Amino acid sequence: MSPGVTVHDTLARPLRDLRISVTDRCNFRCSYCMPRDIFGSSFVFLSRSDLLTFEEIARAARLFVANGVEKIRLTGGEPLIRRDLERLVEMLAAIDGLRDLTLTTNGSLLTPEKAQSLRAAGLQRITISLDSLDDAVFRAMNDANFPVAAVLEAIDAAATAGLAPVKIDMVVKRRINDDGVLDMARRFRDSGHIVRFIEYMDVGNTNGWRLDDVVSAREIVERIGREWPIEPAEPNYLGEVAERWRYLDGAGEIGVIGSVTRPFCGTCTRARLSAEGEFFTCLFAGRGFDLRGVLRSGTPDQEVLSAIANVWRLRADRYSEIRSEATRGTRKVEMYHIGG
Ligand code: SAM
Ligand code: SF4
Ligand code: SF4
């Protein structure tokens, strides 16, 4: 099947990115994503047979690429929990027309060997989440008592393996870790890595989100700019979610993702596939399209291709632009379910 016939939605946004969640499980319990009181020992996760197989994921991915997708990000849950992930990476890297293959992880399972084998399988880049350099704050935020030092080792392992530039994502929550913004910027200036500061979002319905807990992109930029002067840099491509800022002294760049205060729905080109094969056209959607049902019913490629195209053509999502008291109460898919 020839790649690259791009489908557009009702707002003329092309389908360009696909985020694939390979598991709904995670070894962390970040309070903003999988609060332990809800995702405790009695929580029922998907069973193995519910999950898309690697063959099903690779087939779906190939058909997304044939509809215009150029970039795939593997995510979760914690994607490195899924066994033999290298095998999936290898299958995806072989898809004709795919330009960028990357992964988001909490870094806890990213040993030097794992980083090398993911790179060898064809992974190009990696994003590692790290919310604080203060060990006590970080352990409290991941609620799994996981230390900062181990994530810093994972960052080094990724860079050594050539998964560069490594991006480091910090979700900023007021009064929880926002006093660590400057430390994070300082630590990774001149490192070749790119720190991205993310506004805390109202994803899902379980994290008890309040606007008051959000530190705006503007405030983050002001705080960092007061310490080290910065200037805006051009986006790398249409639909890039992070605003780029460059240090004037040449120490590299940072990114700021203002999902709440600076919504970017107008250029949102992202589709998401959950671990059990639901196709979502928005991070804040209540329901997705059952692609697994289509994949498991003997449907030929051409029809799966059309099914994907038809869902995207009908897409009108712009949740972040119309976020209000009214939308806040609506039922939304959880972040651990479809990834960031
Ligand atoms: N477990 C992996 C990790 O943490 O990197 C991948 C999945 S996680 C859902 C992807 C990203 O979403 C992480 O960087 C995480 O910090 C971010 N995230 C989760 N909940 C969020 C929220 N409520 N607001 C902003 N970002 C969030
Ligand atoms: Fe796990 Fe990532 Fe969610 Fe934290 S943000 S609970 S590491 S899936
Ligand atoms: Fe895209 Fe939905 Fe986020 Fe808007 S709210 S940027 S449409 S995922």
Cα 56–Cα 101–Cα 82 angle in degrees, nearest 5? 50
- Structural domain includes residue 82: yes
Cβ–ligand 3 distance for 280 under 6 Å, the answer no
According to DSSP, the residues that pair with 170 across neighbouring strands are 197
pLDDT, average across residues 9-29: 98
Q: Which residue, chain included where needed, has tokens 């970039």?
A: 71
79-137 pLDDT, tens digit per residue, is 999 999 999 999 999 999 999 999 999 999 999 999 999 999 999 999 999 999 999 99
Ligand 2 atom 3: residue of nearest CA: 33
Please report the atom of ligand 3 found closest to the CA of residue 241. Answer: 6
**pTM for this structure?**
0.96
Three-class DSSP category at 1? coil
- Structural domain includes residue 293: yes
According to DSSP, the residues that pair with 271 across neighbouring strands are 18
Q: Burial letters for 7-20: b for 16+ Cβ neighbours within 10 Å, e otherwise?
A: bebeeebbbbbbbb
- Residue 340: pLDDT band with limits 50, 70, 90: low
Among 274, 318, 322, 333, say which to mutate for ligand 3: greatest number of ligand atoms within 8 Å of CB. 318
Structure tokens at 169: 């994502």
The total number of residues shown for the chain amounts to 340
181-236 pLDDT, tens digit per residue, is 999 999 999 999 999 999 999 887 777 889 999 999 999 999 999 999 999 999 88
* Radius of gyration over every alpha carbon of the chain, rounded to an integer in angstroms: 19
How many domains, the chain? Answer: 1
According to DSSP, the residues that pair with 99 across neighbouring strands are none
- Structural domain includes residue 190: no
- Structural domain includes residue 322: yes
Q: Which residue, chain included where needed, has tokens 């790179």?
A: 119
Pairing of strands 17-21, 71-75: parallel
- Residue 174: pLDDT band with limits 50, 70, 90: very high
- Structural domain includes residue 196: no
CATH no. for residue 94? 3.20.20.70
pLDDT, average across residues 158-175: 97
Residues 126, 207, 209, 222: is their CA dihedral positive or negative?
negative
- Structural domain includes residue 143: yes
State residue 195's pLDDT score.
98
Cβ(178)–Cβ(215) below 8 Å: yes
In whole angstroms, how far apart are CA 254 and each of 182, 217, 232? 12, 12, 10
State residue 338's pLDDT score.
67
pLDDT, average across residues 307-335: 82
CA atoms within 13 A on the CB side of 256: 25
- Structural domain includes residue 48: yes
Ligand 1 atom 18: residue of nearest CA: 340
123-148 pLDDT, tens digit per residue, is 999 999 999 999 999 999 999 999 99
Three-class DSSP category at 168? strand
Range of the domain at 327: 17-167+268-338
287-298 pLDDT, tens digit per residue, is 999 999 999 999
Cβ(232)–Cβ(247) below 8 Å: no
pLDDT, average across residues 265-275: 96
Q: Which residues line ligand 2 (CB under 6 A)?
A: 26, 28-30, 33-34, 76-78, 106, 129, 336
Kindly tell me if the per-residue pLDDT of 17 is higher than 60: yes
Contacts of 231 by beta carbon, 8 Å cutoff, 6+ apart: 245, 246, 248
DSSP characters over 173-201: BTTTTGGGHHHHHHHHTTSS-EEEEEE--
Cβ–ligand 3 distance for 39 under 6 Å, the answer no
> Ligand 2: distance of its center to the CA of 28 in Å?
6
Mean of all residue pLDDT scores within the chain = 94
d(CA 291, CA 251): 45
State residue 1's pLDDT score.
55
Please report the atom of ligand 3 found closest to the CA of residue 317. Answer: 7
Cβ–ligand 1 distance for 107 under 6 Å, the answer no
Q: What is the largest CA-CA distance in the chain?
A: 59
Residues 145, 146, 148, 149: is their CA dihedral positive or negative?
positive
> Ligand 2: distance of its center to the CA of 307 in Å?
31
> Ligand 3: distance of its center to the CA of 191 in Å?
31
- Structural domain includes residue 40: yes
